[in-house]
Chain A
Amino acid sequence: MSQELGGVMNITQTQHLFNVDFLAMCMMGLIFFLGLNIVVFSISYMRGDSSYRYYFYRLFFLIISLAIMVSADHLFLFFLACASSNFFLSRLMAHKKVWEAASFSGFFALKNFFFGLFFLGAAFSILYLHNGELSIQKICELASDYPVSRTASIFLLIYAMIQSAILPFHKWLLSSLNSPTPVSAMMHAGVVNGGGFILLRFGPLFAGDLIILQFIFVVGVLTSLAGTIWKLMQHDIKRSLAASTIAQMGFMFAQFGLGLYSVTLAHIILHGLYKAFLFLNSGSSLNQKAYDHSNESLSVRTMIASATCTALTLITFCITKKQTPFPADAHLIPQVVLGVTSFQLASGLLSKGWKTKELLLTFLICSLIGGYYGSILFVIENVYGIGVTSIVEVFNPVYLLGGTLLIISWVVFMYGQSIARSVLGDKRLDQVYVSLLNASQPHSQSITTSKKQYKYQEVT
Chain B
Amino acid sequence: MSTSTALDDSHLELALTVAAPDHEKVNIHDIIEKAWSTIAPSWPIKEFVASNPLQGFVDMPIEEALKLSSALFQQENIPEPIHSINRETIKWCQAFFDEGQAAISMPNRELGLYNCWRRLAVWDDKLHGGDKNKIQLLKNLTDNSEDVISQILSMLKIPEENQELFLILALTTLPGWAAHVKYRNECQHDYHAFKYKATLSDYLAARVVMTALLWPDALDLIHWHQTCLKDNHNADYMHLVSRSEDDYTKPLINQLRTHINAVNKKIGVPDAQFVFCIDVRSEPLREAIESVGNYETFGYAGFFGLPVAFEDRVTQEVLPSCPVILKSKHVLPLENTSKKRYSKKKQAKQIKNVFQGLKYNFTTPLALAELLGLPAGLWMTLQNFFPRYSSKIKQKIMQPAHKKGCCVNHDSEAIGNPNIETESKEIAIPFNDQLLYAETLLKTMGMIHITSPLVIFCGHGCKTENNAFSSALECGACGGRNGTGNAKVVSEILNRDKIQEYLKTKGITISGETLFIAGEHNTTTNEIQLHYHQKINQEKLQEIELLKSQLDVSRDLCNAKFNGLIEPKKNSFNATKKAQVRSSDWSQTRPEWGLANNAAMVVGPRYLTKDIDLQGRSFLQSYDWQHDSDGSLLASIIGGPVVVAHWINSQYLFSSLDNVAFGSGSKVTKNITGKIGIIQGNGSDLMHGLPLQSVNQCDKTPYHTPCRLTTIVYSPLKKVDSVLSENPSVKKLIKNGWLRLFCIDPLDQIIYQLSRKNSENEWIQH
Contacts and interface: CB of A to CB of B under 8 A. Distances in A.
A300 interface: no
B370 A456 contact: no
Nearest to A271: B369
B383 to A, nearest CB: 8
Nearest to A414: B361
B684 A291 contact: no
Contacts of B173: 450
A270 B176 CA distance: 38
A446 interface: yes
Contacts of A272: 373
A303 interface: no
B590 to A, nearest CB: 7
Interface stretch (A132-140, A150-158, A228-236): A228-236
B332 to A, nearest CB: 22
Contacts of A352: 346, 350
B331 to A, nearest CB: 22
Contact of A233 (B102, B665, B679): B102
A384 interface: no
A444 B367 CA distance: 33
Contacts of A40: 384-385, 587
Chain B residues touching A, range? 35 or more
A289 B357 CA distance: 10
Nearest to A233: B104
B700 interface: yes
B90 A449 contact: yes
B82 to A, nearest CB: 7
B71 interface: no
Interface string B355-396: 011111111111111111110110111001100000000000
B381 A450 contact: no
Contacts of A271: 369-370, 373
A246 B466 CA distance: 25
Given A237-B101, A274-B373, A451-B176, A49 B699 contact: yes
Nearest to A33: B377
A406 B98 contact: no
Interface stretch (B240-248, B610-618, B622-630, B670-678): B670-678
A429 B107 contact: yes
Interface string B103-147: 110111000000000011011111000000000000000000000
Contact of B107 (A179, A433, A435, A453): A433
Chain A residues touching B, range? 35 or more
Contacts of B122: 430
B685 to A, nearest CB: 5
B337 interface: no
A288 interface: yes
A447 B103 contact: no
Contacts of A248: 365-366, 369
B405 interface: no
B101 A290 contact: yes
A450 B693 contact: no
Given A43-B587, A232-B102, A448-B683, A290 B360 contact: yes
Interface stretch (B72-80, B275-283, B566-574): B72-80
Given A44-B589, A45-B587, A348 B353 contact: yes
Interface stretch (A58-66, A119-127, A334-342): A334-342
A372 interface: yes
B123 A345 contact: no
B687 interface: yes
B124 A449 contact: no
A71 interface: no
A273 B84 CA distance: 37
B104 A49 contact: no
Contacts of A141: none
> For chain A, what secondary structure do more than half of its interface residues adopt (helix, strand, loop), or is it mixed?
helix
Contacts of A270: 369-374
Interface stretch (A9-17, A194-202, A279-287, A385-393): A279-287
A399 interface: no
A442 B126 CA distance: 13
Contacts of A46: 668
Contacts of B125: 438
A372 B367 CA distance: 12
A222 B444 CA distance: 68
B175 interface: yes
B484 to A, nearest CB: 19
A447 B381 contact: no
B692 interface: yes
Given A44-B588, A48-B590, A454-B680, A289 B675 contact: yes
A232 B104 contact: yes
B100 interface: yes
Interface string A411-439: 01110000000000010011101110110
Interface string B330-362: 000000000000000010001111101111111
B103 A430 contact: no
Contact of B101 (A229, A236, A277, A430): A236
Given A286-B672, A430-B120, A441-B91, A291 B356 contact: yes
B761 interface: no
Interface hub of B175, B351, B671, B681 (most chain A Cβ within 10 A): B681
Interface string A99-119: 101100100000000000000
B358 A341 contact: yes
Contacts of B74: 452
A360 to B, nearest CB: 16
A384 to B, nearest CB: 16
Nearest to A313: B367
Contact of B669 (A102, A280, A453): A102
Nearest to B468: A283
Contacts of B362: 225, 228-229, 406, 409-410, 412-413
Interface hub of B367, B467, B680 (most chain A Cβ within 10 A): B367
A447 B104 contact: no
B672 A237 contact: yes
Interface in A325-359: 337-338, 340-341, 344-345, 348-349, 351-352
A349 B348 CA distance: 11
Given A345-B358, A456-B665, A41 B587 contact: yes
13 contacts: A42-B587, A105-B681, A176-B682, A277-B376, A278-B376, A284-B468, A345-B364, A348-B350, A406-B362, A430-B107, A433-B104, A438-B125, A456-B665
Interface of B: 45-46, 73-76, 78, 82-84, 86-87, 90-91, 94-95, 98, 100-104, 106-108, 119-120, 122-126, 173-176, 346, 350-354, 356-374, 376-377, 379-381, 384-385, 465-468, 585-590, 659-661, 665-675, 679-685, 687, 692-693, 696-700
List of 6 A-B pairs having minimum Cβ-Cβ separation, nearest first: A270-B373, A48-B698, A178-B681, A273-B377, A348-B354, A291-B356
Given A291-B103, A409-B363, 4 more contacts: A181-B670, A229-B362, A438-B125, A450-B685
